[in-house]
Structure 1
Amino acid sequence: PVFFGAFMLLFMDTSFNVTMQPFRALVGDMVPDEQRNLGYSVQSFLINTGAVIGSFLPFVLTWLGVSNTPPPGGKVAPTVIWSFYIGGASLLLTVLVTSFTTREYPPEEYEKYHQITAEEKSHKSLANLIRDIPPTMWQLAVVQFFSWFALFLMWVYTTDGVAQHVWATDPSDKTSAAYNEAGNWVGVLFGIYSLIAALYSTLIPKIANKLGRRGTYMVSLLAGSIGFISILFIRNRYGLIISMAGIGVAWAAILAMPYAILSAALPASKMGVYMGLFNATITIPQIAAGLLGGVILTLLGKQAISMLGVAGVSMLLASLAVLMVKTTTGQTVKQ
């Protein structure tokens, strides 16, 4: 059941990322380079505002009287089931509204503005596209790998880790009141890191103007690493809020900075296709984390909280990997 649950979480998260990717390319198409820090920060703010609402749903539903313990013979609490139903409906509705109300530049106008020639507009094979990937994209892929590896471990193991580490309850008993109380609190913590991320997103443009895109990205990921590692030393539920603040800072940057950096390094004629390929840098590390997570957990003595320490080390490696990223400013490059 654990591996099936992890696989379904991976499938769900991959679906979300595939859904969001065209909108990330759209920001690159519609927003000039000097405004992309702001453009992707606004996108990060909106994503995290929705995440705040979603994370608090089980807690709110419990307060409204929906049971937070599974019914006899069941394994999932009604609060969790209804949260997924509401989240799925919200995703479908908002994607439809955005798709039907967003205005794009006509292809002819876009090509004229970016001076795209017929040769540049021609279709390339996947092999040629991969061969011509800008170096910045490969460099960002390394950062993305360690970032999303850490995030996947957090999403999968935080509830078990907090239940074991703070509530001192057996995480294998998913039906216990203590485990579900820990699960509800983790939902609150996830809401808090999303709230911090939403607030930090409003500051990213100003910070990026001071530190540059690369500096902002690196410092933010370092804050996330500190947040993850600090969880190992905190046994008070409220103390975990401090840890989530650091993770929220990293999460906001992960949703904004790699796309601001990448969009400036991509040829205008291939913005959409390379943004689509870049999605692999989100899914591949999560597949790796899903495959290796169980093995790592066993090596760590089945202590789920230790997986968050692994996430902290991974996020630290992501922060250091930013140092090798070459940034490009000015008009989107042509080739």
Structure 2
Amino acid sequence: MATSVAAPSADTRTKPRLSFWQIWNMSFGFLGIQFGFALQNANVSRIFETLGGTEIALYWLAAPLTGMLVQPIIGYMSDRTWSPKWGRRRPFFLVGAILASFALLVMPNVTALWMAVGMLWIMDSSINISMEPFRALVGDLLPSEQRTTGFAAQTFFIGIGAVVASSLPWMFTNWFDVPNTAPAGQIPPSVKYAFYIGGVVFFLAVLWTVLRTKEYPPENMAEFEEEKRRTAGFLNGVRESFAGIFHMPKTMAQLAIVQFFSWLALFSMWIYTTPAVTSHIYHTTDVTSKLYNEGADWVGVCFAVYNGVSAIAALLLPAIARATSRRVTHLLCLVAGGLGLISIYFIQDPKMLLLSMVGVGIAWASILSVPYAMLAGALPANKMGYYMGVFNFFIVIPQVVAGLILGFFTKNVFDGESVYTLVLGGISMIISGLLTLRVNDADDIRLPEEPTALANPAYDSPLQTNPQV
């Protein structure tokens, strides 16, 4: 690591096992975070097209470029934060939630393309401020044998949040007769109301975790304060964050390649599913037409389905990982997702897209949990937030690549047929699965987990309070 100061010693205390409700409380904030991401992923391309945008992939670059900076720095700062009242990660949860909720309320009211791109930049950055410390929180509070369960619990809430958020425009139109069309250059009311709901849910869900979760203090407070004093500063955080990409643990470097191909596939799906479905299946490109907006709403339903599947699959992943291995589990899930994306090319009935989304949902469940469970066991405890932030580079880099090359491929190689871009994404996801077999997962769990702390209420835990919802 390119630094002149010694890192504080790793946390050597034995972490107690946490109960079901304790893991529930510490993960609940992800329900709100995914409300934000799901609304963004399902509707931003639609907003861009509505406002006259044609270079959709390029517009999405605003988000990853800020995420590349925000997440590692937030991780670096949260590692060096401690408040007896608010803990280490929770202050960042709360600040991010306030900013992201504001952005969600503003986004559907933009009136120009440049405003939409700028608001995506603000919204994505704010969501990242809340999201990054949640990953580190699992490593902070859970013993190694419960980390797969911890990340799976986050994935469960991600799935539930995304099911509802992705479906909101469709729900408003079909259940409450809210119009899903608007004059040229205006955002439909159904989309506006969905973003308003998302802003409220984001804040309240994150607030639940902030109020219901307690964190461990640094093991050696004097050493922690000295390290914080010597390494404080925004510029130092930037330098450390970008240096970290060249000094990663071996497991992290192997997972980085896996992440690149799986997230390249995901970004191809998020960016191009709406134009692919509306043109390939609904046979229209007129963004003001009723048919186009029906197709766009159906994409939201499809996204809800894959997130719903992921919520269920997340509950099964720990058992599958113990029966096989985390590497094999990830391989199987990514192959299912890749085949799901490829199958969209062969579909003409919109309802059949739901079957494609089953495979995508299985992959999504694994992408959100298994790599992080493998990574957490390879990281020093005192730099958990920092390395989780650096790991975000390998979500951001494929998004940058997607923004730079997918538009070229779609326009010049695929002759404007977005569905071929989804096929390319499916192939990328399968490649990612195969690369998982190369990962050195030293902390792979194959044995059944012990009973949860719920069966042993006498243990000492930072989450001892509020054992029930």
Q: Answer yes or no: same fold by TM over 0.5.
A: yes
Hey, what's the Cα distance between the residues in 2 that align with 1:75 and 1:304? 24
Normalising by the residue count of structure 1, what TM-score does the alignment of the two structures yield?
Answer: 0.89
Structure 2 CA distance for partners of 1:175 and 1:330, relative to 1, 3 Å: closer
CA 1:109–1:40 in 2, change beyond 3 Å: closer, same or farther?
farther
CA deviations over 1:242-287 (Å, ceiling 9, x no partner) = 1100000000001000100000111112111101111111112112
Counterpart in the other structure of 1:257: 370
Q: What is the rounded CA distance, in whole Å, between the counterparts of 2:435 and 2:390 in structure 1?
A: 20
Match of 1:270 among 383, 399, 402: 383
Which of 350, 353, 371 is equivalent to 1:240? 353
Which residues in structure 2 correspond to 1:195-206 (within 5 Å)? 195-206=308-319
Match of 1:38 among 149, 153, 156: 149
Q: Which amino acid aligns with 2:140?
A: D
Could you say which residue in structure 1 is the equivalent of 2:22?
Answer: none
**1:66 match: secondary structure:** coil
What 5-or-longer segments of structure 1 have no aligned partner? none
Bigger CA drift: 318-327 or 193-202? Answer: 318-327
Deviation of 1:75 after TM superposition, in Å, equals 3.5
CA contact (8 A) 1:220 1:249 kept: yes
Letter of the 1:38 partner, please give it: T
266, 271, 275: which one pairs with 1:151?
Answer: 266
Asked if 1:134 corresponds to 2:256, the answer is no
1 CA distance for matches of 2:397 and 2:205? 26
* 2:310 alignment partner AA: A
1:111 and 1:245 mapped to 2: Cα distance?
Answer: 51
Q: Does 1:3 align with 2:55?
A: yes
Q: What is the distance in 1 between the residues matched to 2:402 and 2:312? A: 29
Shift of 1:92: 2.6
Superposition map of 1:184-199 within 5 A: 184-199=297-312
Alignment CA distance shift 1:105-1:111 (3 Å): farther
Structure 1 residues 256, 150: closer, same or farther in 2, change over 3 A?
A: same
Secondary structure at 1:74 match in 2: coil
- Which of 195, 213, 228 does residue 102 from structure 1 map onto? 213
Q: Offset of 1:311 from its aligned partner? A: 0.7
Q: Give the counterpart letter for 1:314 in structure 2.
A: S
- Distance, in Å, in 2 between the alignment partners of 1:20 and 1:226 is 29
The structure-2 alpha-carbon separation of the partners of 1:62 and 1:22, relative to structure 1 and needing over 3 Å to count, comes to same
Match 2:180 to one of 56, 65, 68: 68
Amino acid at match of 2:274: T
The 8 Å contact of residues 14 and 283 in structure 1, kept in 2 or not, is answered as no
Q: Cα distance 1:183–1:129, how it changes in 2: closer, same or farther (>3 A)?
A: closer
Partner amino acid, structure 1, of 2:158: I
Q: Mean Cα displacement is larger for which, 7-16 or 310-319? A: 7-16
* Distance across 1 between alignment mates of 2:425 and 2:164: 25
How many Å apart are 1:93 and its aligned residue? Answer: 2.7
| 1:327 alignment partner, SS class | coil
In 2, distance between residues paired with 1:278 and 1:303?
A: 33
> For residue 139 of structure 2, what is the aligned residue in structure 1?
28
Amino acid at match of 1:66: V
Q: Is the 8 A contact 1:75 1:175 kept in 2?
A: no
Gap change, CA 1:213 and 1:279, over 3 Å in 2: same
Contact 2:326 2:444 in 1 (8 A): no
User: Which deviates further from its counterpart, 257-266 or 124-133?
Assistant: 124-133
State the distance in 2 between where 1:189 and 1:73 align.
25
Separation in structure 1 between the aligned mates of residue 208 and residue 215 of structure 2, nearest angstrom: 14
Distance 1:13 1:182 in 2: 25
Q: Residues 14, 135 of structure 1: CA spacing in aligned structure 2 closer, same or farther, 3 A cutoff? A: farther
With structure 2 as the length reference, what TM-score do the two structures score?
A: 0.65
Q: 1:134 to 1:296 in 2, by over 3 A?
A: same
Q: 1:71-90, CA deviations, whole angstroms, 9 ceiling, x for partnerless residues?
A: x3434211112212222332
CA distance in 1, matches of 2:157, 2:399: 23
Task: For 1:283 and 1:323, locate their aligned partners in 2 and report how far apart those are by CA, in whole Å.
Answer: 23
Does 2:280 match 1:165? yes
Change over 3 Å in CA distance of 1:129–1:304 after alignment to 2: closer
Find out whether 1:88 has 2:203 as its counterpart: no
Where 2:301 maps in the other structure, the secondary structure is helix
Q: Aligned equivalents of 2:292 and 2:139: distance in 1? A: 43
Q: Distance in 2 between matches of 1:256 and 1:94?
A: 20
Q: CA deviation at 1:111?
A: 11
Q: What SS does the aligned partner of 2:443 have?
A: coil
Deviation per residue, 1:56-113 (Å, 9 max, x gap): 101111020210001x34342111122122223322332233223320011127999x
Classify the secondary structure of the residue corresponding to 2:342: helix
One-letter amino acid matched to 1:264:
G
Alpha-carbon distance change, 84 to 149 in structure 1, aligned in 2, over 3 angstroms? same
- Which amino acid in 2 is paired with 1:83? A
CA distance in 2, matches of 1:260, 1:14: 24
Q: Distance in 1 between matches of 2:272 and 2:344?
A: 12
What is the aligned counterpart of 1:317 among 421, 431, 435?
A: 431
8 Å contact kept, 2:163–2:307: yes
SS at match of 1:328: coil
Task: Indicate if the aligned counterparts of 2:151 and 2:370 stay in contact, CA closer than 8 A.
Answer: yes
Residue 224 of structure 1 aligns to which amino acid in structure 2?
Answer: G
2:54 aligned partner, one-letter code = V
Contact 1:51 1:194 in 2 (8 A): yes
Post-superposition offset of 1:7? 4.3
Q: Is the counterpart of residue 49 in structure 1 residue 136 in structure 2?
A: no
Does the CA-based 8 Å contact 1:150-1:314 persist in structure 2?
A: yes
In 1, are the aligned partners of 2:257 and 2:435 still within 8 Å (CA)? yes
- Report the secondary structure of 1:188's partner residue: helix
